[in-house]
Amino acid sequence: MARGFDVIVVGAGHAGVEAARAAARMGCSVGLCTLSEATVAHMPCNPAIGGTAKGHLVREIDALGGLMGEAIDATGIQFKLLNRSRGPAVRSPRAQADKRRYGAWVAAALRREAGIAWIFGRVGRLVERGGVVAGVELEAGSGAAAGERLHARAVVVTTGTFLNGLVHVGDRRTPAGRAGEPPSHLLAESLKGLGLSWGRLKTGTPPRLDRRSIDFSRFEKALGDEEPVPFSFLTPTIDRPQIVCHQLHTTEQVHEMVQANIARSPLYNGRIEGIGPRYCPSLEDKVMRFPHHERHHVFLEPEGLDVDEVYVNGCSMSLPAEVQEALVHALPGLEDAVMMRPGYAVEYDFVQPTSLARSYEAREVKGLFLAGQVNGTSGYEEAAGQGIIAGINAARAVAGEDPFVLGRDEAYLGVLADDLTTRGCLEPYRMFTSRAEYRLFLRIDNADLRLTERGREVGLVGDRRWARFENRRSRFERNLRRVSGTTVTLRNGRRARASQALRRPDTMLDELTSGGGLRLEVGSGEEQVDVCSVETHFKYAGYLERQAATIDRGRRMEGRRIPRAFSYAGVPGLSLEIVERLSAVQPETLGQALRVPGVTPAAVALIGAKVGGK
């Protein structure tokens, strides 16, 4: 008898673990396929979570009931809130992780889920019948359950860089999904038979150095915040001691060495076909593309409290190992550093996400979901954000329910799904705050107000989180009334409504509560969020109203649905190019159609006339 599950998740990286947990919490039996428990929620590149816009994604995942926020709060070793000098909408938490503890924490959390069964082995084939997923088949000789066929009603593929992965270090090319781990070739070919469109991308990682060989006193210190801001709404405070990172800079000599060896870089000698991310350039790219920069930042980041590997942030490269070693030694202060392993570039196949609906379900194969780096994104947070939504939708598909789709005006998670499935990827996709046109609404301080109720509705938010949230929301509402109803004394002696006083750029809430006669209600361990969400509500009021007006205008377009399998060729006046693009993307609404690259407002007006409705 073959084993069967409601949902099978292929891969236990950041996307896979969120998908498996979400589906299990929603009552599904889940089979989680991974090669080894040691690489669950692994961080093969930067040992950090968060950053601008990425921190927003983590808060949103947490607000929906996901894992990532609690995991990093429990295992982070240095926390920093970015963009502190700017407004609350663009502040974003970032933390260095102890990568081993992070993975172990997540694995333990999944082990506590009764609905998840672990399957150690390599998935070789997706089983599909008549455009509907039926399960997966494990590769022969790939582990405990070799050759076994597993039935499932939904499959979530989260294979990261493993599909036909190829690792480059100088001239050395090794088929691998990550350094030292064999790639998935059979699964890649099986998925390619399903009519999805494909592309090839590249990413890279820097060398790792031995902590014991570095004299850190020679570098500038890079410190975290004194009072760490947690990622999760459930974490009251973080009082673990924090580690120190260090900063140095590249020199002209280093740049000259890179130039002298550039022909040995697979990035520059034509051996790499995949397209790399422009926002995360390799050292080769930095030197070649920005010759006017005299120096570039380099950060030394420990990969954990009791790990000797140090991550050399800012120096991702794929030059031959001996060149990398020489380059490291040329960095001032690292003359004697021992390189434990070289950096590398990895090329991999990805599914062009325009083949997917915004639920991450493949349009051509019912029950097949894809999430994470396999969809062309980069970053653990982007992966986790897709994983949780794909997991929710896999569970809903099994239950015969409508897809769960967040709007661009509701969450960065909505922006992510819409961008990927509408525009596709020309380079690895990373989230930025500038991608969110409703940025002022999508803040870390209101992620729970935006999303926790949605998470509760789909069955992902447990009772503990829900009770805490309900208190927090009613506190928020009472605080709004207090601020609107209290008259305070300002520094200049004048009296004004607290809500009006807060609109001035230089008046902050703590000034009104400490001396102005305003009293706020705060939850224990929730001051930060309580104060910030109230303050921002009033500080941004004028701008929020204007942005709200835009959202209303936008919603009209978002509300006009385009029927499934709509024939664009049948719309008079559309150019052939636009017909091709729209047919490939199959947008679900007129608003989405307008965001497809190259599609003009005039074209959308024509489609609107055909689709009808207002």
Partner 1 sequence: MFATDDTIVAIATPPGPGGIGIVRLSGPRASEIAAAILSGPGNLEPRRATLTHALEPSRQRSIDRVLATYFPRPRSYTGEDVVEISGHGSPVVLRRIVESATAAGARLAEPGEFTFRAFLQGRMDLVQAEAIHDLVTAVTPRQARVAFDQLEGTATAAICAVEDALFNVVARLEASLDFPEEGYHFVDAKAAGVEVAELADRVRRLIASSRQGRLIREGCQVAVAGKPNVGKSSLFNVLCGVQRTIVANTAGTTRDLVTETIHLAGIPVTLVDTAGIRATSDAVEAEGVSRARGAVEAASAVVVVVDRSRVLDQDDRVLLRQTEGRSRLVVANKRDLPTAWSAEEQLEVGSGSPLVETCLIDGSSADTIREALLGLLEGKAPGRDPPAISNARHIGLLTSAETALRRAAAAAEGGATEELLLVDLEEARRALEEVTGKRTPDAVLERIFERFCIGK
* Window 200 to 259, contacts with partner 1 (CB under 8 A): none
Nearest approach, Cβ of residue 350 and partner 1 (Å): 23
Q: Which long-range contacts (CB under 8 A, 24 or more apart) does 432-435 make?
A: 432/52, 432/53, 432/279, 433/52, 433/53, 433/56, 433/89, 433/90, 433/92, 435/53
Answer for which of 37, 82, 182, 189 binds partner 1 (CB under 8 A) is 82
Site string for partner 1, 443-482 (x = CB under 8 A): ----------------------------------------
Vertex 125: Cα angle to 122 and 126 (nearest 5): 120
Q: Which residues, in sequence order, are CB contacts of 446 under 8 Å at separation 6+?
A: 533, 536
Sign of CA dihedral 564, 567, 568, 573: negative
Q: Which of 116, 38, 77 lies closest to 395 in space, CA to CA?
A: 116
Answer for which of 261, 378, 421, 433 binds partner 1 (CB under 8 A) is 433
Nearer to partner 1, 111 or 556 (CB): 556
Nearer to partner 1, 218 or 293 (CB): 293
Q: What is the C-alpha separation between 569 and 333, in angstroms, rounded?
A: 63
Among the listed ranges 16-24, 82-90, 124-132, 383-391, the one in contact with partner 1 (CB under 8 A) is 82-90
Q: Bridge partners of 519?
A: none
Nearer to partner 1, 396 or 581 (CB): 581
Among the listed ranges 121-129, 231-239, 430-438, 512-520, the one in contact with partner 1 (CB under 8 A) is 430-438
Nearest approach, Cβ of residue 51 and partner 1 (Å): 8
498 near partner 1, rule: CB under 8 A: no
- 288 by DSSP, 3-state: which? helix
**Contact criterion met (CB below 8 Å) for 309 and 211:** yes
Q: What is the C-alpha separation between 557 and 524, in angstroms, rounded?
A: 42
Site string for partner 1, 14-53 (x = CB under 8 A): --------------------------------------xx
**Contact criterion met (CB below 8 Å) for 57 and 145:** no
Q: What is the C-alpha separation between 547 and 533, in angstroms, rounded?
A: 17
* Window 551 to 610, contacts with partner 1 (CB under 8 A): 571-573, 575, 600-606, 608-609
* Window 285 to 304, contacts with partner 1 (CB under 8 A): 293, 297
Q: What is the C-alpha separation between 531 and 559, in angstroms, rounded?
A: 34
DSSP H or E run through 85: none
Nearer to partner 1, 38 or 609 (CB): 609
**Contact criterion met (CB below 8 Å) for 578 and 603:** yes
Two tokens at 201?
């991308």
Among the listed ranges 206-214, 396-404, 435-443, 514-522, the one in contact with partner 1 (CB under 8 A) is 435-443
* Window 85 to 114, contacts with partner 1 (CB under 8 A): 85-87, 89-90
Two tokens at 216?
């850190």
**Residues of the shown chain interacting with partner 1 in the complex, contacts defined by CB under 8 A:** 52-53, 82-83, 85-87, 89-90, 279, 293, 297, 432-434, 437, 439-440, 505-506, 540, 543, 546-547, 571-573, 575, 600-606, 608-609
